[in-house]
Amino acid sequence: MPIRCRSETRDAGDAPHLHALAGRGEDGVVTADGPAEAVTAPGPAPGWARQVAAVAVLTGAGISTDSGIPDFRGPQGLWTRNPSAEKLSTYQAYMADPELRCRSWQARLAHPAWTAEPNRAHRALARLACSAIDTQVITQNIDELHQRAGTPPERVTELHGTMFGVLCTGCGDRTAMAAALDRVRAGEQDPPCTLCGGILKSATVMFGQPLPPGVFERAAAAAARCDLLLAIGSTLTVEPAASLCSIATAAGASLVIVNRDPTPYDPAATAVIRDPIGEAVPRIAGQILPA
């Protein structure tokens, strides 16, 4: 089985032709689980939202910015503002450089994900995933906000792992991030594995690392059998995640991209929606879900 390594595409289109831009619905109020929240009324469903039996959703960092977790490549992204931060997510640099690991542990301590709450878009996808529609949420994110919003864990595929776990690069032992962060707070700048002394890292897929076995295959199967692939908040420049778009369209599915910035897959999309994710995703979920 080929090992699929996380990498960036080099051939991102520089002037993609934008396809049909969806219009905005009218404002309205509906009751969600828990407290009532204002969402955009669905409005008439576009053709691609009608009679959807199976939907695959690919989410990127952009779905969590409303929860206070910055993305990497958006206008306020961590790497846009500080290009050298990319090294913190590169496996080879992490393994080779103890000083970089100390900085990584400090960055983990201060990460906004520990206090972040799911937002309207995560909750709208959870409603979809709890409906009769066959829903698979495939995420590039490592923040577990889809599960916390109520998407059943078996309907979430984490392509890049989770930041709530820690893995030993020596013996493979898996432990909780909270325990490792306690050790950092207590003064261990680069805490080693308590079993073998090996280098610890978060249970995420860094650039230069293969995806865990079977994870991409599961995501690809969902993309190949869906009627609609929604790609939300991703620049679609990280592979192999972005290639799920081609897998879905090759199998005859509609591809709908919700992202503020252009992506290399825009020309292949049935619709490209530039509205803020917090508005667009609840509206789309309302259009897909039968009344």
Ligand X SMILES: NC(=O)c1ccc[n+]([C@@H]2O[C@H](COP(=O)([O-])OP(=O)(O)OC[C@H]3O[C@@H](n4cnc5c(N)ncnc54)[C@H](O)[C@@H]3O)[C@@H](O)[C@H]2O)c1
Residue window 226-245: x/- pattern of binding to ligand X, with contact defined by CB under 6 A:
-------xxx--x-------
Q: Which of 57, 69, 88, 226 binds ligand X (CB under 6 A)?
A: 69
Name the minimum Å distance from CB 173 to ligand X. Answer: 23
Active site residue 160: yes
Token duo for residue 90:
């590169």
- Interface with Zn ion by CB under 5 A: which range of 14-22, 190-198, 239-247, 256-264? 190-198
* Minimum CB distance to ligand X smaller for 227 or for 233: 233
Q: Which of 43, 46, 77, 267 binds ligand X (CB under 6 A)?
A: 77
- Interface with ligand X by CB under 6 A: which range of 24-32, 101-109, 173-181, 253-261? 253-261
Name the minimum Å distance from CB 196 to Zn ion. Answer: 3
Q: Which of 25, 39, 42, 62 binds ligand X (CB under 6 A)?
A: 62
State how far the Cα of 213 lies from the Cα of 218, in Å rounded to an integer: 10
Among candidate residues 17, 19, 111, 160, the one labeled active-site is: 160
| Positions 255 through 284 that interact with ligand X (CB under 6 A) | 259-261, 276-277
Q: Does 38 bind Zn ion (CB under 5 A)?
A: no
Q: What's the sign of the alpha-carbon dihedral 134, 213, 117, 153?
A: positive
Beta carbons within 8 Å of 176's beta carbon, 6+ residues apart: 164, 165, 166
Name the minimum Å distance from CB 202 to ligand X. Answer: 11
Name the minimum Å distance from CB 167 to Zn ion. Answer: 9
Q: Does 142 bind ligand X (CB under 6 A)?
A: yes
Q: Which of 56, 125, 167, 193 binds Zn ion (CB under 5 A)?
A: 193
State how far the Cα of 204 lies from the Cα of 211, in Å rounded to an integer: 9
State how far the Cα of 270 lies from the Cα of 132, in Å rounded to an integer: 24
* Minimum CB distance to ligand X smaller for 180 or for 277: 277
Q: Does 64 bind ligand X (CB under 6 A)?
A: yes
Among all residues, which ones are annotated catalytic? 160
Interface ranges with Zn ion (CB under 5 A) = 168, 170-171, 173, 193, 195-196, 198
Residues that bind ligand X (CB under 6 A): 60-62, 64-66, 69, 71-74, 77, 140-143, 160, 233-235, 238, 259-261, 276-277
